[in-house]
Amino acid sequence: MNRSTFYRKRLVLLSAFMFAASLSSVARAQDLIVPPQVAPPPMVYIPEEARTQLLSARDEKTRSRLSLELAEARLARAEQQTALKQFNAATADLGVYQALMEDAIQYLYRAGDGGNRSRDLFKRIEQSLHKHAARVEAMRRATPGEFAGNVLALIRLIRELRTEALDAFYSDTVVR
């Protein structure tokens, strides 16, 4: 074997090794570039047993209190699930919480007579949302990034619902 053939084989092996090494570094760099997948948004619905309880309520006050109790229970479950690092289950409970609170406000808009009674119910809902916002914010801090977007969307919705409740409460006296 002559010297030039030996160097050529060595050069081919060295270039093949360098090519393989560059491919593996590109693959590792691609792993770093790909962002983590975000969690899908929660399904916003009221479970059938909660819906039957709400439909059996006899008046606005009873239904509003029941809605707040059911929402409070779902929020407590979501907090427990977050503490246990079961973020999919916590997100599902937050979806039910969202549906219950939206339904409570929409029901009062449909059934409310605009008097002191409905204004008091709107005020009670607004106060509950104010308390719940701090709890949801605490959950957001303990939630990883892929689920935090859903919790942030809920925080924004809570702010909007509080605004709706306050607008309904002051609708007769505030000039726009």
Nearest to 40 by CA among 171, 132, 165, 153: 153
Query: Can you give the pLDDT at residue 78?
Result: 97
Query: Can you give the pLDDT at residue 145?
Result: 87
CA distances from 153 to 33, 41, 73 (A): 26, 9, 20
Domain ranges (residues) in the chain: 1-34, 48-169
Distance CA 66, CA 87 (A): 26
Q: CATH number of 48-169: 1.10.3470, 1.20.58, 1.10.357, 1.25.10?
A: 1.20.58
Query: Can you give the pLDDT at residue 31?
Result: 53
Query: Can you give the pLDDT at residue 119?
Result: 87
Query: Can you give the pLDDT at residue 175?
Result: 47
Query: Can you give the pLDDT at residue 174?
Result: 47
Q: What angle do CA 156, 159, 163 make, to 5 degrees?
A: 140
The pLDDT tens digits along the chain (176 residues) read 566 676 677 766 667 766 666 666 555 545 555 566 778 889 999 999 999 999 999 899 999 999 999 999 999 999 999 999 999 999 999 999 999 999 999 999 888 776 778 888 999 999 999 999 999 999 999 999 889 999 999 999 999 999 999 888 776 554 44
* Prediction pTM value: 0.76
Query: Can you give the pLDDT at residue 24?
Result: 61
